A and B are shown apart, each in its own frame.
Chain A
Amino acid sequence: MSFLAITRSTLAKDIRIEWRSKDALNAMLFFGLLVVVIFSFAFDPTAEESRRIAGGLIWVAILFAAVVALNQTWARELRNQVLDGYRVSAAPCTPLFMAKALGNFIFVITIEALMAPLFIAFYKLRALGPAWELLPVALLGTWALVVNGTFFAAVSLRTRSREIMLPLLLFPLSIPALLAMVNATTAILSGEESPRFWVALLIAYDVIFTTACLLTFEMILEAE
């Protein structure tokens, strides 16, 4: 089977499971909702203030919520020894990784789309810069979180208390991506400066880590 065929069938399977159970989506959505509400109680910002802090709030909320989905990525495959089946099958493992990362990407983007109206309502947001630029920032930033998150979820499979291990590994490495996402969003919302540098940094981050993940994933999958 070709790379694309394996990616497509694995991705379709994951989306089908998620569509029927909605485990990860519901958990992420409820978690994100809680973060939005708690932050809005904690800060109660005016429209002017929220333009400055919303970039940080949105992405921290998304990061925490994404961990919920990322933790389930591989744990689901441990039941019934599915992962062992992957290991012994002749199929290459990079399309498997790609499918998992794309699946998480779709889930997290869905959550972002559902949470965006909440943020706008709770924080009285109105972008002073060109709002469409938020779209590439969201896509690139989400991929940055999800590609490393999927990879480190596989790494933490081998550890004790793996649910705690994932954020411990993922957050330090995600600092440059998070910094770029937050600053790009704040730049667009406040309309004061161009987010171009931060978008370039996100592209570099995505390219470097996607390559690194694809090159080393086999070693992680085979490690047992």
Chain B
Amino acid sequence: MKRGLTFLGVLTGLLLSFALYEALVAAPTERTMGDVQRIFYYHVPSAWTALLLFLINFAASVIFLLRRNTKADIVALVSAEVGVVFCTVVLVTGPIWARPVWGIWWAPGDIRLTTTLVLWLIYLSYLVLRRFSNSSQTPVVAAVVAIFGALDVPLVYFSIWFFRTQHPSPVIGGGGSLDRQMAMVLLINWAAFLCLAGLVCWTRYLLEVAKREVDEAEALETLYEGSR
């Protein structure tokens, strides 16, 4: 277990430094946008990672409701926390990139922009609920809310789909053309981000397990003290 964590940590460090070099130095400069386009190698992998983590959160919530498995609950909590962090990175890098390229910080009618923002709000409210709720049934309530959030996402998407969209259509599998070397750099960055997300989630998972053990031990101790 411990060795696996160290291995993942070293791998993440190596991959991140390699990806940083590739993104800032090795990747070709984009013709019209110039160097500012390099933010793409951080913006897109963060978005994919965040979406993947939210998907994991949804799956873990369903599994928890079906099996009442504590591990699934911790996975749901951890994936939502780390997902919100990556989603924040997307929402911060997006406007930084949009300002010089589109001339505006934010396009209110844009489909992926707004969907990402609403997604971020939904998972933030999920985390607030977990923080504010203090009964032993918090996992059940949180899992139900996570499922409601996941149900909301397609509706948000369709409601904004009705507006015209400003965001470039999906680069991978969307018919858009991406330079092969740029695609390589993008995938390397994504691999690095996935490793980082995995590392953070794993550490956070161990922390949460330890925290619950401590809470349980403290509760037992109080009971013991009380019975004496």
Q: Is B207 an interface residue, CB under 8 A from the partner? A: no
Interface size classification for chain B: 20 to 34
Name which of A47-55, A124-132, A134-142, A175-183 contacts chain B.
A175-183
Q: Judge whether B132 and A161 touch: CB under 8 Å.
A: yes
Q: Is B144 an interface residue, CB under 8 A from the partner? A: yes
Contact residue among A155, A159, A168, A208 (Cβ-Cβ distance under 8 Å from B151)? A208
Contacts of A220 in B (CB 8 A): 140-141, 144
Q: Judge whether B156 and A175 touch: CB under 8 Å.
A: yes
Name which of A2-10, A24-32, A197-205 contacts chain B.
A197-205
Name which of B17-25, B118-126, B197-205 contacts chain A.
B118-126
Contact residue among B134, B148, B152, B158 (Cβ-Cβ distance under 8 Å from A160)? B134
Contacts of A152 in B (CB 8 A): 145
Known: A161-B132, A172-B118, A176-B159. 6 other contacts (CB 8 A): A159-B132, A159-B134, A176-B118, A183-B162, A212-B147, A223-B137
Contacts of A216 in B (CB 8 A): 144, 147
Q: Is A158 an interface residue, CB under 8 A from the partner? A: yes
Q: Which of B118, B124, B141, B160 has the most CB of A within 10 A?
A: B141
Q: Is B128 an interface residue, CB under 8 A from the partner? A: yes
Q: Judge whether A176 and B156 touch: CB under 8 Å.
A: yes
Bound state CA distance, A205 and B157, in angstroms?
12
Q: Judge whether B128 and A158 touch: CB under 8 Å.
A: no
Cβ proximity bits B154-188 to A, threshold 8 Å, 1 near / 0 not: 01101110100000000000000000000000000
Cβ proximity bits A160-177 to B, threshold 8 Å, 1 near / 0 not: 110001001101110111
Q: Is B138 an interface residue, CB under 8 A from the partner? A: yes
Q: Jot down 13 A-B pairs with beta carbons below 8 A, ordered by A.
A: A151-B148, A152-B145, A155-B141, A158-B137, A159-B129, A159-B134, A169-B125, A173-B149, A176-B118, A180-B159, A183-B162, A201-B159, A212-B147
Bound state CA distance, A28 and B3, in angstroms?
60
Bound state CA distance, A216 and B151, in angstroms?
13
Bound state CA distance, A168 and B159, in angstroms?
21
Q: Judge whether A212 and B137 touch: CB under 8 Å.
A: no
Q: Judge whether A223 and B135 touch: CB under 8 Å.
A: yes
Bound state CA distance, A205 and B162, in angstroms?
15
- A interface list, Cβ under 8 A from B: 148, 151-152, 155-156, 158-161, 165, 168-169, 171-173, 175-177, 179-180, 183, 197-198, 201, 204-205, 208-209, 212, 216, 219-220, 223-224
Cβ proximity bits B104-118 to A, threshold 8 Å, 1 near / 0 not: 000000000000001
Bound state CA distance, A158 and B134, in angstroms?
7
- Assess A165 versus B129: contact at CB under 8 Å? Given A180-B159, A205-B155, A224-B137: yes
In the complex, residue of chain B having the shortest beta-carbon distance to the beta carbon of A177? B155
Q: Is B65 an interface residue, CB under 8 A from the partner? A: yes
Contacts of B147 in A (CB 8 A): 212, 216
Q: Judge whether B118 and A155 touch: CB under 8 Å.
A: no
Q: Judge whether B133 and A158 touch: CB under 8 Å.
A: yes
- Assess A172 versus B122: contact at CB under 8 Å? Given A201-B155, A201-B159, A219-B140: yes
